[in-house]
Structure 1
């Protein structure tokens, strides 16, 4: 590599427009200067030691080529030395055309293909860096400097301006023969032209230029054949590395997401979602309608076209693009007879894990659940998002589009740290194992639904000095008392996990951003007003924020710091029947009427997976002033999920009708 190469490498890097998107002249200038400085360092290496080594390496290549019978340089050089006109043309071709073609390509890419420019520029820089490194470690004397072998320096003989015969490059590195960057640059130009599908005649011209350059570097005795051959892997590796650098890093399943992947077992599939009820009395909705809507909005649903790829026990799985979406599997249709048939379909879908060899989501259009109604069972693996995120992705498919949520100011670091320390202390004293509820421990499920006006639940809470979440917890506890606690040996309390949202302002719809705080529900026989008062007092832990912050910190940091196998063990230990017996969740939902594929939405019954070893999970979702409940049940606890839902409704009606107890209200405060 001569001084022209280094100078041109610097200039090529600087061939940018200050107005180009994302391009900064200062950075480009710095890269070019660093590359030129590196070449200068190599060129300034002591010649004494390098000359002998370069001579040995040059002779070794020459002898190897003679053995291989590819030593064509001497014949080509001898003929060219006696052709005055052709010799001058060859000398200038050697000095100019490879520089001109590289600069022309960079300008062309910058103007016409800016999306490829950065990759090409980076490959060009890597090619030159690879060459400079090789020059320093493996100096090779070119044939023209070994006249005793019969070679003639045609450039020196002709005194070609700007090349070896000119004072302009008298301090250039004389032993930069392997690889031939003349060949490297011209081959790199050919690769980049092919990458942008340049016109065929342009690629043909460049192919001719490659052949002419190969002839010139051999005939002028600047390179051996093996020097040119050595340029090929340099170009291939440089382009490959530059393209890999340009690819966005695959999204990794973060610790809280991998948490739900680790706890999944055949008996405890971890997919969540909902049963979306649509009014199709005027407009029918089928799988084709849903596929059309999904395709139109795929841009905002990255996980709908990605699959999870495991990379061994010690590395986190990553999300990779899944080119072929099997729409017939992802969006299918079933026919049932009434709501009982719909609930049976949901229970069946809950019992089967979602396969991870494809995007982990599914929609099943269910016809026949009720006159003028169509149900859409929407399922997504919990590794994708928490309940709020899954709701947000479902709403993304609906009309009208949701308004951006207002940003919440982040908690101050000092206050956050203090809350974490206090919460860790509180969690440390709450580790007593809970009473166990009966469970079959299989993947078989029962699914129940219920809905009632949200205003009714709020009125009950206001009358008894409680919150909506307290009323829901009381309904669950009372229902378990009426359906389970009457059995012999039934526990007196039930510890449930109440998920709390920790989603930062402006976060995407993907990713798990919730933690859970444990609340012990009293299952003994007592007036429901007393049960509600007791639960209201115990549920204050949900509002202090310290336990939630501590639990979230532990969950997040465990995912960051623990190796994969240890994190999986931690997840299976923390999220199991050892520490909880059920999940009770309250999810925010849209308060306006939405449409899916043109059909108005009337209700959404949440689907929440069971934690391993636990027998139930209940969630409520507010939809257009209605509170819709979905209950996922292990039949070992109660075989009839609707019976539990009816008992929950009875508890709420009892709380609504019974007079307020002053002492209960006082304790709730």
Structure 2
């Protein structure tokens, strides 16, 4: 169920609920500030450029034989009383009617207000950009055209062009916001289906405004045409009428992974699942039957992306005919065992999922072992994140299982303060120093290993760290043992890793929870692994503070909504990948309940995590029925042998398990006091 059809949306700040007035007022002030900034943008000699642009429009109208402004201006200038009325109409009526419409919509029609507010905002943003980049002087201010300034001639106090509003941008003729605002009011009256007399008044207001802007020599006819184009475009982009069913929009934080994907860096996540199947079960038909029965619960399995556009966000649209031969495929390994299976996963990771169909695949693998079957489940990151893949798998199991509930999260005030703090922290981030040798090849290598979860938890408790710290230490230490990346002094090398964190609510939807990535610098120099773990535990404190995660989530989920798709995609490509981090490491919660998939007992599940552009390494850890299941993905050229890297990571964990636990600070202080040296000092 999408927000467009979910009744609970009324209590979640989605369409149907009136937004906070203070936020709306702040939004309006930001539009005014944008207009002021546009007026201050230097464009060489702004007045000369604006006058030149005005002459160009005037000459074009004469060429097209539509230059009607001069006779209208001559007549109005000769009739003082009418001119004064027209001047005041130009200065006030468009503003009063627009504010009235916004206030009425906010108070009486909050379901429509958000749509109207968004279109009105986009109209003004486009206008401000035009004013900044291509200022245009109105006819009355272009020397040599012979127009009469009716405000100055007839001394209309308080009108546009008079000293009272001398601060207004006079070089903002194209497009005419007076006409654009009048058109916007008329469109909203029509959309609301108010009585016909009021709609007729709205249309009359448009024509009166059109006459006034030309007769007072404040605009050209083509300025009004520009306003019409801007209003049409604004509604084309922003119209989200809740009364009309529309496919759900792909959120910007999900579209992020469409932008960064290329043929060399596919962005699908997934899992490698092992089933106990001495009788060869399940069959491909069993898998299809299981999936068919869950399509209503897992809507993205039956949806595809709408066509791409540089200006409109993609939507999820129905794809009624599913090609089961492609989506659920059966493969037989030529070489059994882990080597053949991992090689198949690497091949599938190297191939982007096509975007003309639902973006997921399930491969039932035979020939792995006589008494086991394997299932490779892949979904594009736009469909679901790592948690989303796990959620899909759990809903396919028998009996159905659920993810452990997350916390309720911080209050709105703490979230706001944490976001501001996190943005400042992100702005102060230093540049990464160590780089892994990424060749940009599309070929992937994949490896797995498993460790008992009680052993990992005992190790973490012994060293007073978290399981994530152990995973990160195994990554840094294991990589250190199999290769020596260049960059930075040997003793001070760090490997910057993106660690995804959940920032959404306590319930994980099928598409996954809201995630954000926090960068952590892993100590990479030569050192005992226990010292690496201690240094790393200090570095991962930023994961527990939550401020950077909140800031990252704000940028991904909120701020990026203000960008059109073409700019959003450019932003995604600029910040995601090798320029920002060199590896991805994630630790995911799984299930501890014995379950079955299509009738076969599920033994293990290893995460499949995509690498990033220029970031050739990704590691996933998943707790499942008492085991920590690791999945390691790399560019095929990063290490000579992926199994050697997995073995080195195991060796690091074994070394940590054999190392002595660090002495508690209290015991060290007491021992130092007995020796007469005072308490120890620790950073």
TM bracket (short chain): 0.5 to 0.7
Aligned residue number for residue 299 of structure 2: 302
Tell me, in whole angstroms, the C-alpha distance in 2 between the residues paired with 1:283 and 1:622: 26
Tell me, in whole angstroms, the C-alpha distance in 1 between the residues paired with 2:562 and 2:591: 37
- Runs of 4+ off more than 4 Å: 129-133, 244-247, 403-407, 486-491, 663-669
Alignment of 1:252-291 (within 5 A): 252-282=249-279, 284-291=281-288
Contact kept? 2:353, 2:360, Cα under 8 Å: yes
Tell me, in whole angstroms, the C-alpha distance in 1 between the residues paired with 2:459 and 2:630: 17
Aligned residue number for residue 470 of structure 1: 469
Do residues 338 (structure 1) and 337 (structure 2) align? yes
Structure 1, unaligned stretches of length 5 or more?
Answer: 1-125, 138-243
Aligned residue number for residue 164 of structure 1: none
1:557 CA drift (Å):
2.0
TM-score (norm 2): 0.61
Aligned residue number for residue 311 of structure 2: 314
Tell me, in whole angstroms, the C-alpha distance in 2 between the residues paired with 1:245 and 1:653: 57
Aligned residue number for residue 501 of structure 1: 502
TM-score (norm 1): 0.62
Q: 1:323 aligns with which of 316, 320, 324?
A: 320
1:523 CA drift (Å):
1.4
Tell me, in whole angstroms, the C-alpha distance in 2 between the residues paired with 1:315 and 1:475: 43
Tell me, in whole angstroms, the C-alpha distance in 1 between the residues paired with 2:194 and 2:542: 61
Aligned residue number for residue 434 of structure 2: 435
| Structure of larger gyration radius | 1
Do residues 644 (structure 1) and 645 (structure 2) align? yes
1:265 CA drift (Å):
1.0
- When residues 663 and 581 of structure 1 are mapped into structure 2, their CA distance, relative to the original with a 3 A threshold, is farther
Aligned residue number for residue 451 of structure 2: 452
Contact kept? 1:477, 1:521, Cα under 8 Å: yes
State the secondary structure of the residue aligned to 1:443: coil
Tell me, in whole angstroms, the C-alpha distance in 2 between the residues paired with 1:417 and 1:136: 45
Contact kept? 1:434, 1:578, Cα under 8 Å: no
1:131 CA drift (Å):
12
Tell me, in whole angstroms, the C-alpha distance in 2 between the residues paired with 1:577 and 1:364: 31
Aligned residue number for residue 540 of structure 2: 539
Tell me, in whole angstroms, the C-alpha distance in 2 between the residues paired with 1:352 and 1:503: 30
- When residues 431 and 574 of structure 1 are mapped into structure 2, their CA distance, relative to the original with a 3 A threshold, is farther
| Residue-by-residue CA offset, 1:6-37 (whole Å, 9 max, x unaligned) | xxxxxxxxxxxxxxxxxxxxxxxxxxxxxxxx
Aligned residue number for residue 596 of structure 2: 595
Contact kept? 2:268, 2:379, Cα under 8 Å: yes
Alignment of 1:186-205 (within 5 A): none
1:417 CA drift (Å):
0.9
| Residue-by-residue CA offset, 1:273-310 (whole Å, 9 max, x unaligned) | 01011000146112111100001111101011000012
Aligned residue number for residue 530 of structure 1: 531
CA RMSD of aligned residues (A): 2.9
1:407 CA drift (Å):
6.7
Aligned residue number for residue 461 of structure 1: 460
Structure 2, unaligned stretches of length 5 or more?
Answer: 1-189, 202-240, 669-680
- When residues 404 and 481 of structure 1 are mapped into structure 2, their CA distance, relative to the original with a 3 A threshold, is closer
Do residues 583 (structure 1) and 555 (structure 2) align? no
Alignment of 1:168-183 (within 5 A): none
Tell me, in whole angstroms, the C-alpha distance in 2 between the residues paired with 1:319 and 1:464: 47
| Residue-by-residue CA offset, 1:532-590 (whole Å, 9 max, x unaligned) | 00001111111011111111111112321111111111111111100100001000101
Contact kept? 1:536, 1:668, Cα under 8 Å: no
Tell me, in whole angstroms, the C-alpha distance in 1 between the residues paired with 2:638 and 2:360: 28
Contact kept? 1:533, 1:668, Cα under 8 Å: no
Alignment of 1:356-435 (within 5 A): 356-403=355-402, 406=405, 408-435=407-434
- When residues 668 and 298 of structure 1 are mapped into structure 2, their CA distance, relative to the original with a 3 A threshold, is farther
- When residues 365 and 403 of structure 1 are mapped into structure 2, their CA distance, relative to the original with a 3 A threshold, is closer
Aligned residue number for residue 520 of structure 1: 521
Alignment of 1:198-217 (within 5 A): none
Tell me, in whole angstroms, the C-alpha distance in 2 between the residues paired with 1:451 and 1:668: 36
- When residues 623 and 406 of structure 1 are mapped into structure 2, their CA distance, relative to the original with a 3 A threshold, is closer
Tell me, in whole angstroms, the C-alpha distance in 1 between the residues paired with 2:377 and 2:597: 12
- When residues 584 and 407 of structure 1 are mapped into structure 2, their CA distance, relative to the original with a 3 A threshold, is closer
Tell me, in whole angstroms, the C-alpha distance in 2 between the residues paired with 1:423 and 1:647: 35
State the secondary structure of the residue aligned to 2:426: helix
Contact kept? 1:485, 1:524, Cα under 8 Å: no
State the secondary structure of the residue aligned to 2:357: coil
Tell me, in whole angstroms, the C-alpha distance in 2 between the residues paired with 1:562 and 1:538: 33
Tell me, in whole angstroms, the C-alpha distance in 1 between the residues paired with 2:381 and 2:427: 27
Tell me, in whole angstroms, the C-alpha distance in 2 between the residues paired with 1:289 and 1:353: 26
Aligned residue number for residue 156 of structure 1: none
- When residues 543 and 245 of structure 1 are mapped into structure 2, their CA distance, relative to the original with a 3 A threshold, is closer
Contact kept? 2:403, 2:508, Cα under 8 Å: no
Contact kept? 1:439, 1:614, Cα under 8 Å: yes
- When residues 404 and 430 of structure 1 are mapped into structure 2, their CA distance, relative to the original with a 3 A threshold, is closer
Structure 1 stretch 612-621 or stretch 488-497: which is displaced more?
488-497
Tell me, in whole angstroms, the C-alpha distance in 1 between the residues paired with 2:528 and 2:194: 81
Contact kept? 2:280, 2:373, Cα under 8 Å: no
| Residue-by-residue CA offset, 1:299-333 (whole Å, 9 max, x unaligned) | 10101100001241111110000011000000001
